[in-house]
Amino acid sequence: MNNTNYLINIMEDQIAFNKNKSLFFEGRTIFETSNEMNDLLMYHFDKVQNLFAKDNIELNKLILASSEKTMEVFQNSNQYISFRDKDKIILQRLYKDILIKLKTNYLNTGSLSEKVISECFNEHYRNLKEFLKITNGKNLFESYKLSETIPHVVCEEYSAELQIKILGLDIENLEEPIIDIGCGKEFRLVKLLREKGYEAYGLDRINSKEDFIIKSNWMDYNFKPTKWGTIVSHMAFSNHFNHHHLREDGQYVDFMKKYLEILKSLKVKGILAYAPKIEVVEEIVKNHYKGVYKLEKKGLSINITRFK
């Protein structure tokens, strides 16, 4: 394993080490550094120092991997935590800052004491807390103040058959290409559609090795006009739209804009099928787009067909 990968491993383990602790707890949360991290900082800091001495490529690799891991841990802990492309740059800056702070202390004194390490990390955790508030608003974290450990937020993946049933899809007659927004780590519906021979893609913020899975925040993805034959989204985009609509500091205006962009990305005769419903928006589509889109309630879901 090369030096950078070794450092990435230690950094990723450190991020996972405190993953269940609340940054917002109003009592005192103890954030600890792992044994490996302590060992690295106290006795082998030259390995980090070397990155600065060499070139920026290796240092940037470490910063990028650390910020990616942090976002993954936050998003996995609560599906309503979300980061846009522009947020990633702020987070990378925070990682650069802590590394520079550690390096400066190391160069000044020739070593890093437990006290300095703890001060640097505590400042980093305060910065992470601000970063979460700036990017996701304060309301989401109200309940995080009550306990040292973070609350559990449900986020399930469902069988392809159940999704087809709930979305009311006519599985033998779908227009192509198909996109599943928030397809899940296992992209079960996309898999089944591709097995049936459809040109189907998934979109999710989760990493995937498959080239038919697009890795993006749906808010940053450009849904091009009249591109998609079928758009599906089960317990994903509309669920988050409802969540933001109910929240005082929710980003429902951004969701509304994206929803309209998604609608317009349907081909003529194309269908958008999603669950759960978003009643506030469906009224607008019904009243303002008569003759363009037809809306149908199918049990728990909504199907919208584009006519022109």
Ligand X SMILES: C[S@@+](CC[C@H](N)C(=O)[O-])C[C@H]1O[C@@H](n2cnc3c(N)ncnc32)[C@H](O)[C@@H]1O
Where does this chain bind ligand X (CB under 6 A)? 79, 82, 155-158, 163, 182-185, 188, 204-206, 217-219, 234-236, 240
Q: Which is nearer to ligand X, 49 or 217 (CB)?
A: 217
Residues in Cβ contact with 181 at an 8 Å cutoff, skipping those fewer than 6 apart: 203, 218, 231, 232, 233, 236, 237, 262, 274
Residues in Cβ contact with 65 at an 8 Å cutoff, skipping those fewer than 6 apart: 8, 11, 12
In the complex, the smallest distance separating the C-beta of residue 303 from ligand X, rounded to whole angstroms, is: 16
Six-digit token string for 216: 């993006």
Q: Which is nearer to ligand X, 107 or 246 (CB)?
A: 246
In the complex, the smallest distance separating the C-beta of residue 85 from ligand X, rounded to whole angstroms, is: 11
Q: Which is nearer to ligand X, 157 or 282 (CB)?
A: 157
Other CB atoms within 10 Å distance of the CB of residue 305: 17
d(CA 189, CA 202): 9
In the complex, the smallest distance separating the C-beta of residue 94 from ligand X, rounded to whole angstroms, is: 21
Q: Which is nearer to ligand X, 14 or 135 (CB)?
A: 135
In the complex, the smallest distance separating the C-beta of residue 153 from ligand X, rounded to whole angstroms, is: 10
Q: Which is nearer to ligand X, 96 or 245 (CB)?
A: 245
Q: Which is nearer to ligand X, 9 or 216 (CB)?
A: 216
Six-digit token string for 41: 């900082």
In the complex, the smallest distance separating the C-beta of residue 78 from ligand X, rounded to whole angstroms, is: 10
Q: Which is nearer to ligand X, 134 or 146 (CB)?
A: 134
In the complex, the smallest distance separating the C-beta of residue 297 from ligand X, rounded to whole angstroms, is: 19
Q: Which is nearer to ligand X, 82 or 105 (CB)?
A: 82
Q: Which is nearer to ligand X, 254 or 283 (CB)?
A: 254
Residues recorded for the chain: 308
In the complex, the smallest distance separating the C-beta of residue 117 from ligand X, rounded to whole angstroms, is: 34
In the complex, the smallest distance separating the C-beta of residue 287 from ligand X, rounded to whole angstroms, is: 28
In the complex, the smallest distance separating the C-beta of residue 255 from ligand X, rounded to whole angstroms, is: 10
